Amino acid sequence: MTLLQVEALDVRHGLLQAVRQVSFELGEGETLALVGANGAGKTTLLRALAGAHRPAGGRILFDGEDITAVPAHRRVRRGIALVPEGRRLFPGLTVEENLRVAAGAGRTGPWNVESVVAAFPILAPLLGQRAASLSGGEQQATAIGRALMTNPRLLLLDEVSLGLAPVAVAGVYRSLATLIEGGATIVLVEQDLARGMAVASRLACMLEGRIVLAGAAGELSREQVTEAYFGLGKAASA
């Protein structure tokens, strides 16, 4: 069943068109890795899906309903949650408060403070600690936990490995693998090709605001993706 449908989406930053005519569909339980170089438009696309950027054209349909003009906080209530680039925690709030503030979205489901701590045991001793004092890996676990607290149907993850130590990245991806095995629907923005291809069921490569290559992760070769990533080969689309 199609959960997310994006049709000819355009997003602008002032005069700069960051996303151009992007279209794709995502079924429930699928994981899509959006890969591409810096400035390819991945983050802008993800933020447009979350409602943080208003599209200049095109449509976003979620569960069959047009949500293009729906504001960000209402999209969260419909089941879309974003883990933003740079984590963007509330630094003056404790870890527990960061988690609980997201519970106000009012969606019911399996995720609460206890289940988030069970999924990210690293957070157990940190619940009373201010977010500003956390390490990068701890912040990322809190940011993912905060998004899960909204009990999302679609989880948008932006550069979860950025700025983290390799050990922390491995920890975050182990947790993601567990979420994916549990049937979560995820759109993952990742600059690390190998990691993106390892966890995703589908992959889309962006270049200069467009999707230039898309397909099932297992069917695309590393060479095809690398060529599309750097804009070396002939652009392909699925």
| Site string (187-226) toward another protein, x via CB under 8 A | ----------------------------------------
Q: Is residue 58 a contact point for another protein (CB under 8 A)?
A: no
Q: Is residue 73 a contact point for another protein (CB under 8 A)?
A: yes
* Whole-number CA gyration radius for the chain: 17
Residue number, 101 or 124, with CB nearest to another protein: 101
Spatial distance between the Cα atoms of 20 and 210, rounded to a whole number of angstroms: 5
Q: Is residue 238 a contact point for another protein (CB under 8 A)?
A: no
| CB distance 213 to 237 below 8 Å | yes
Instruction: Name the segment binding another protein (CB under 8 A); options: 21-29, 34-42, 82-90, 178-186.
Output: 82-90
Q: Is residue 77 a contact point for another protein (CB under 8 A)?
A: yes
Q: Is residue 147 a contact point for another protein (CB under 8 A)?
A: yes
| CB distance 149 to 99 below 8 Å | yes
Alpha helices by DSSP H, listed for the chain, are 42-50, 72-78, 95-102, 113-119, 136-148, 166-181, 193-199, 222-230
User: Cα separations (Å) of 152 from 16, 80, 81, 83?
Assistant: 31, 5, 6, 11
Q: Is residue 127 a contact point for another protein (CB under 8 A)?
A: no
Residue number, 134 or 217, with CB nearest to another protein: 134
Burial letters for 139-148: b for 16+ Cβ neighbours within 10 Å, e otherwise?
A: bbbbbbbbbb
Q: Is residue 76 a contact point for another protein (CB under 8 A)?
A: yes
* Residue 90 CB, nearest approach to another protein (Å): 5
Catalog residues that contact another protein under the rule CB under 8 A. Answer: 50-52, 71-73, 76-77, 81-82, 84, 88, 90-93, 97-98, 100-106, 146-147, 149-150
